[in-house]
Amino acid sequence: MRIDKKTVAVFLAVIMMITFIPTAVAAAVKQEVTTILAPSLVFEDVYSGASWYYTEEKTLVLPWKEGTSALLYDSKTGEIFGDGYVPEYGYYIPPFSEGFVEVQKDGKFGFANETGELIIPCEYDDVDNFFDGVAVVSKNGKYGFINTHGQLVIPLEYDEAAYFSEELALVAKGGKYGFINKAGQTVIPLEYDAASYIYDGLAVVEKDGKTGVINKAGQIVIPLEYDVLYNFDDGLALVRLGDYETGKWGFIDISNQIVVPIEYDYLGYFFDGLATAQKDGKHGFIDKAGQVVIPFEYDYANDFSEGFASILSGDWETGKWGFINKTGQMVIPAEYDHAGYFYDGLAMVEKDGKWGFINTSGQLVIPMEYDYADTFSYNELAKVGKDGKLGFINKAGEIAIPLEYDYMYDFIGDLLVVYKGGKSGIINAEGEIIVPLDYQDILYVGSENNNNYYWVKQNDLWGIIAVGDPMFGISTLTDPDTGITVTGNFDSTATLQVTPVTSGADFTLAETALKDAEKFILYNIALLKDGAEIQPDGKVTVSMPVPEGYDGARCKFYRINEDGSVADMNAKLADGKLVFETDHFSLYAIAQMKDASSNGGAVGTGPVTNNPKTGDTFWPASVCVLVLLLVSVAAMTFIAGKKKSKISR
């Protein structure tokens, strides 16, 4: 496999879109609309040619017409600067990294700073972003590394190179891979047919068709004996012996002990402490000890969500769906043609082409009257369709946004792009029209400084608008020491203060309240305005990276109340971060519990569902498995007719 610039561009664009979407919405606020650039640009494909990215100084990069120049736009001051650079490969400019951005002139590449000044001349055939003070560059098909002064610190001698990860860089010569340090010394010999970059001190490597794991010293940690081996997650790695069609799956631990026998035709990841498995055409569930907890008796089974898993009895065409609990008891009969998964106590189900919603008792709480339905999202609204028109309902089944639109995207914060009669506009969660339906097309591209930015198309020309409130709207604050972020509606002049608490009365209070935890870290989290503490207006989303030495799957987030009681924040584990919602800031503790099931299955990034009209039933684990597969595959680097495979960080 090769990972070229376009692949990286698409991957980055997807990541940016995911990153920009706030995961909680507070009370709706009236949004102001500002025209940044009147429709005047021509794009053959705005979806790939008109990206933008954050810079470290909160500026945005906006490419112009494909093949011409680009500009830099400062969203704080409204200043446009840096005009004259050609987007790399003619279709995009990558994000700034460590104060530098890749630029192109006359077919060669170099680096400019955030004022648009060319710092490193455009003299290279290929470059990659700066990371940890160095950047990959190439000339005449050979790759090396430069520093931020443009000095060549590692010679141009490799056929392929990737950025440094944990002080080592993946490089290749003659189709063989190994690792070098920043002095250019070979630390791990170039002897592997494929390799991933270093992560948590380990790298997955392949030789002669077999895969294993090495450490940073090059020592073999897991012998190269598996046909497939995915990265370790919570101490376990999914492995396969045999080919894709007939091979068997299992789990090993870091000492290469087989924890789950390699005997299953299919094996998923663990959710709620259980993993789906398939054997002899039937599905069941196993635990982390490899024990069969729910027998192999179902024709298909989705992963657990909120203590329930949807199962299929019969074939995909005529079979019926129901729900079991974690003991395997059928708690909701298999009587539905299709079923989703439970989110916040409700699951969508379908009979005879009509969709509705049931609760965990199996009671129909929203009638089956819709031709289309989607899962309830964080704003507690669900998209539904009837007679070719789309709108939203609330959890009481009431129409929140009339079913009058031909098409609509999902909410970005409080805002929703809608289409009607061939025109598009933007409404809020109250159904109010914020941007009139006057445009041919609207494309969301990012959020910053309490504004959501959109490309808008009018008379076949593209422009840019900002939708937001200058003083109050969707904001994101980050504490640089802990990585804790807060996203939601609060005064844009507010600041985030996170103070570790390691002693005193508050610590003693938490220590008593969390006596069943193995260990915990206590923080006083506060929003400040003019030095005084304030509270958010409605719910906000808090995200925190799992601290070093903590097992995210065993972690919970608690609010410590003044009376010594605790409130479980029901944090979700997503991409190494614990995420929860709150409407009040005070003392919070991240606690590692004594068993892996303590998290209550709090995993994933939130509701994601297939279009139910397709007849597919979606399961949350599929997204996580897909991401893990993509990361694992993207990390494995192969030379395939290209001098360098780029690995995006």
Of 72-76, 296-300, 442-446, 498-502, the poorest mean pLDDT is in 72-76
**110 touches 69 (CB < 8 A):** no
**602 touches 564 (CB < 8 A):** no
CA atoms within 13 A on the CB side of 511: 8
**378 touches 344 (CB < 8 A):** no
Confidence of residue 42 (pLDDT cuts 50, 70, 90): low
pLDDT of amino acid 554: 86
Strand positions, DSSP E, 175-209: 176-180, 186-192, 194-195, 202-207
Share of the chain above pLDDT 90, in %: 46
**260 touches 250 (CB < 8 A):** yes
Share of the chain above pLDDT 70, in %: 74
Confidence of residue 645 (pLDDT cuts 50, 70, 90): very low
pLDDT of amino acid 12: 32
User: Which tops the pLDDT comparison, 234 or 433?
Assistant: 433
pLDDT of amino acid 40: 65
- CA-CA distance, 204 to 201, in Å (whole number)? 11
- What mean pLDDT value characterizes the chain? 78
HEC-encoded secondary structure of 68-120: CCEEEECCCCCCEEEEEEECECCCECCCCECCEEEEEECCEEEEECCCCCEEE
**605 touches 572 (CB < 8 A):** yes
- CA-CA distance, 496 to 528, in Å (whole number)? 6
- CA-CA distance, 646 to 161, in Å (whole number)? 8
User: Which tops the pLDDT comparison, 200 or 8?
Assistant: 200
CA dist list (Å): 186 to 135, 163, 172, 538:
18, 15, 11, 55
pLDDT tens track for 163-194: 898 999 999 999 999 999 999 999 999 999 99
pLDDT of amino acid 116: 66
Buried b (16+ CB within 10 A) or exposed e, 178-197: bbbebeeeeebebebbbbbb
pLDDT of amino acid 647: 32
Confidence of residue 209 (pLDDT cuts 50, 70, 90): very high
What is the helix (H) or strand (E) element at residue 49, kind and residue range? helix 46-49
CA dist list (Å): 239 to 251, 258, 277, 538:
6, 10, 13, 45
Sketch the domain layout of the chain as residue ranges: 472-599
Query: Is a pLDDT exceeding 90 seen at residue 401?
Result: yes
Query: Is a pLDDT exceeding 70 seen at residue 71?
Result: no
Confidence of residue 269 (pLDDT cuts 50, 70, 90): confident
User: Which tops the pLDDT comparison, 310 or 616?
Assistant: 310
What's the chain's Rg over C-alpha atoms? 26
Q: Which CATH class is domain 472-599?
A: mainly beta
